[in-house]
Structures are given as C-alpha cells and as structure tokens.
Amino acid sequence: MFQPKQIHLGSGVFLIASLSCYADGPDGAAADSCAKLAVQVANAGAPPATLAQAQAETTRIFREARIVIEWEEYRVSQRAAGCPVRLIVSILPHATVSASDMALGSSGSVVHSLVFLDRIEELARTSGSTVVILGHAMAHEIGHLLMGPAHSEIGLMRPRWDRGDIKTAARGRLRFTPAQTEALRARVAQRADEAGLRAGRAAGMMKQ
Ligand SMILES: [Zn+2]
C-alpha cells in the first residue's frame, strides 16, 4: 500500500495538472455539471516527451468520459485557482517492493497513486508503446482515486491488461465504461462539494 513519507521521488520533474471538470456534452453544448479537479503529477522517471505524450493519452481518455484535463506546471506553493480538489500521481522509476506481481501502479489512498515505469516499459517491450501504456495506467489509477479499488471485467479498469487490451488501447478504444463515466463525474462533483465546504469553514475561521 502507498506510504507517502517513504517514497523518494529523486530529482525528477514535478508537474501539476489541473483537471477541469467541465466538458462538452454529446451535442457539443457545454456541460458545466462537474467541479474542477487538480491532479498533481510527480515525475521521477519518465522522459519529458514521453510524459507529455502520455498525458495527452490520459487527457483523451477523460475527455471521452466528459471530463477535461488541463495540465499546468507545478509550483510547490501554488493553489490551483478554481480547482479545490487535488489528486496526485507519482511516476516512479521502479515498482515498490510491496507492489503485486505485474502491477503497473498502485492506489493506496483516495488522493495519491503510484505508477511504475519499469513495469510499463517491460510490458511495452512485448505489447505496445510506453506512451500508450503510461497514459492508460495514469488514467486507470486516477480512476481508482475517484472510484475506489474495484475493477471491472471490461475496459480500462480491468485488473490486468492482456495483449488484446494493449492493442485496443493503441487504437484509442480502451475506455471507462458508461457506468464508470457517470461514477467518475459524480465523485468529482462530490469531492468538489466537500472541498468547498472545507474551504468555506477555513475562511470562516480566519474571519474570527
Ligand atoms: Zn487497478
């Protein structure tokens, strides 16, 4: 399980992504039913170009779930304007010792996931590209942060991806299911409400 204080991220590039939770509806009309969500990506292993392309994959996957991702440069003290909910994905060069066999990542809390670059590159050597697998692994782990540890028998949230899944991913067709899409949007809105309540209470305390 994830233990943040024991993770050493080295001197990798740190980025923040703000996940803006508005999206165009099926008819192209803006659907502003979802609050904004910030995702912080701590990269300690992926080449910048690889990460950028993988982020584009993750962005596309969430856009198909009607959630738009906007990536921003990380600032330690930065508060993502308008993004009260913040998640973290750490890209580690090697799987943690507690990682299960073949796991590409781990989500042991509701805010912080790990993605293991060595496992991803190993899978890519036989079944696809690092960019595609990394992008989908980040999307899968963000899915866990929002929906919990459960997996599904089909789609992006399968517990393990076989070669067919990787081929499907490469074609851009390894997705969240419709039910998962609705769950994602509901959880983002719920967390935004919770964060807004916390912020409101904090502001009230500061005025006293
Ligand atoms: Zn999983």
Full domain range(s) for residue 10? 4-207
Task: Say which residue, 9 or 126, is predicted with more confidence.
Answer: 126
Compute, in angstroms, the gap from residue 141 CA to the centroid of ligand 1.
6
Task: Specify the DSSP element, H or E, that contains 95.
Answer: none
Q: Classify residue 94 by its DSSP letter.
A: S
pLDDT digits (tens, 9 = 90+) for 132-142: 999 999 999 99
What is the rounded average pLDDT of the residues 115-127?
Answer: 94
| Number of domain units in the chain | 1
66-80, 83-97, 149-163 — most confident range: 149-163
Compute, in angstroms, the gap from residue 145 CA to the centroid of ligand 1.
10
Compute, in angstroms, the gap from residue 144 CA to the centroid of ligand 1.
7
34-38, 127-131, 200-204 — most confident range: 127-131
Amino acid in the structure at residue 90: S
pLDDT confidence of residue 115: 94
Compute, in angstroms, the gap from residue 156 CA to the centroid of ligand 1.
9
Compute, in angstroms, the gap from residue 49 CA to the centroid of ligand 1.
25
The answer, yes or no, to whether residue 117 has pLDDT greater than 90, is yes
Compute, in angstroms, the gap from residue 180 CA to the centroid of ligand 1.
13
Q: Distance (Å, rounded) from C-alpha 20 to C-alpha 71?
A: 9
The answer, yes or no, to whether residue 98 has pLDDT greater than 80, is yes
pLDDT confidence of residue 24: 44
For position 109, which CATH number holds? 3.40.390
Q: What is the pTM of this model?
A: 0.79
Compute, in angstroms, the gap from residue 188 CA to the centroid of ligand 1.
19
Structure token digits, residue 175: 């997705």
pLDDT digits (tens, 9 = 90+) for 159-182: 999 999 999 999 999 999 999 999
The answer, yes or no, to whether residue 16 has pLDDT greater than 50, is no
Q: Distance (Å, rounded) from C-alpha 97 to C-alpha 32?
A: 42
Compute, in angstroms, the gap from residue 153 CA to the centroid of ligand 1.
11
What is the rounded average pLDDT of the residues 90-94?
Answer: 93
Q: Distance (Å, rounded) from C-alpha 48 to C-alpha 62?
A: 21
Compute, in angstroms, the gap from residue 28 CA to the centroid of ligand 1.
31
Which residues make Cβ contacts (< 8 Å) with residue 77, sequence separation at least 6? none
Task: Say which residue, 178 or 69, is predicted with more confidence.
Answer: 178
- Residue 12 confidence class, pLDDT cut points 50, 70, 90: very low
Three-state secondary structure string covering 131-170: HHHHHHHHHHHHHHHHHCCCCCCCCCCCCCCCHHHHHHHH
Compute, in angstroms, the gap from residue 206 CA to the centroid of ligand 1.
40
Compute, in angstroms, the gap from residue 123 CA to the centroid of ligand 1.
16
30: Cα separation from own chain's centroid: 23
